[in-house]
């Protein structure tokens, strides 16, 4: 898994979503993520 919490498979399959998730995670709490992603921390 990457430092932002998204798995490598998700990033390779959906690069746009992965980038958006990392930006959203930086603004919002890491716990506030999509159900398919595991919360970090």
Per-residue pLDDT tens digits for 3-18: 666 565 555 555 555 5
Count CB neighbours of 9 within 10 A: 10
Distance separating alpha carbons of residues 16 and 21, to the nearest angstrom: 9
Count CB neighbours of 18 within 10 A: 20
- Structure tokens given for 2: 């990457």
Predicted local confidence at residue 31, as pLDDT = 58
Ranges of each domain in the chain: 1-28
Distance separating alpha carbons of residues 9 and 29, to the nearest angstrom: 22
Predicted local confidence at residue 27, as pLDDT = 59
Per-residue pLDDT tens digits for 16-36: 555 665 665 565 555 555 566
* 2, pLDDT greater than 60: no
Predicted local confidence at residue 6, as pLDDT = 57
């Amino acid at each position: 898994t990457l430092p932002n919490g998204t798995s490598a498979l998700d990033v390779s399959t959906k690069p746009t979503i992965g980038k958006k998730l990392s930006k959203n995670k930086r603004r919002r709490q890491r716990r506030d993520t999509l159900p398919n992603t595991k919360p970090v921390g």
